[in-house]
Structure 1
C-alpha cells in the first residue's frame, strides 16, 4: 500500500510569545481587500464576525500601523479596507511564503524518500 507523504510548512509571526500574524490572518486580510467588509470576509472564511473583528483589532493594535480602516455606515452602509501598511504586510507575507514553499518543494522529494 502506497502512503501519501506530504511535507508541510506553516509560518507565523509571534509577538511576546503569542501568535500575531500567519496564514489565517493573511487570508482574512485578503478577503477584506476583496469584499470591502469584515462581515463578508468572515462569512467567506466560515468564521464569526466577532472572531474576525477581534483579529482585525489585534492586528491594528499590535502592528506598527493599523492594517484595516473602517468606514461608518450610512446610506451606502459601512465597510472596511486595507491600509497601505496592511497591503504591504499582506504582500510581503505572501511573497515570503512563496519563497519558503519553493525552497520546500526543491528538497521535498529527496527528503520524503527517506521517510
Structure 2
C-alpha cells in the first residue's frame, strides 16, 4: 500500500499568478538553453506562447525577467535577469521545503490507512471493532 500526498505551489499577486509550475518550467528551460526558441522546443510550446507569457509576467511584476542579445556567432542569447534567477531559486526552495512536509504527512497518512485496514479486518471478524484513534498535534 503506497500513500501519496500531492501538492503544487502557485504564487499570486493581486489575484494574478506570478509563479507556478508552468512559469517555473519556462524560466528553467530558458536558463538551461539560453534561447526562447530552444526552450519552446524543449517544452513543446510555441515561441510566441513563451514570449507572451513572460511579457505578461514582467508587466505584472514591473521588472524584466529575461534579457535578450541579438546576433553574433551564437545567433543571439536570452538569459534570465537577476529577478528571473531569484524567482527560479525561490520556487525551488519552496518545493524543497514542501517535499519535507509532504514526506511527513505521507508517513502520518500511511499509519492512518494501516490503522483503518486493521480496524476494517477486526470489524468484519468480530462484527464491531475498536474506536479509530484520532490524530493529535504533538
Residues of 2 paired with 1:58 and 1:74: CA distance?
A: 28
Pairs within 5 Å for 1:7-46: 7-46=5-44
Residues of 2 paired with 1:14 and 1:52: CA distance?
A: 19
Task: Give structure 1 stretches of 5+ with no counterpart.
Answer: none
Provide TM-score, normalisation by structure 2: 0.72
Residues of 1 paired with 2:48 and 2:112: CA distance?
A: 45
2:83 aligned to which of 85, 92, 95: 85
RMSD: 1.9
Runs of 4+ aligned structure 1 residues displaced above 3 Å come to 73-76, 112-115
- Structure 2 residue 98 is the aligned partner of structure 1 residue 111: no
Q: Which residue does 1:55 correspond to in 2?
A: 53
Shift of 1:6: 2.2
Per the alignment, in what secondary structure is the counterpart of residue 111 of structure 1? helix
Q: Which is higher, the Rg of structure 1 or of structure 2?
A: 2
Task: Give structure 2 stretches of 5+ with no counterpart.
Answer: 114-138
Per the alignment, in what secondary structure is the counterpart of residue 78 of structure 2? strand
Q: Which residue does 1:72 correspond to in 2?
A: 70
Please say if residues 7 and 112 of structure 1, whose CA atoms lie closer than 8 Å, have aligned partners that are also in contact.
no
Residues of 2 paired with 1:91 and 1:110: CA distance?
A: 29
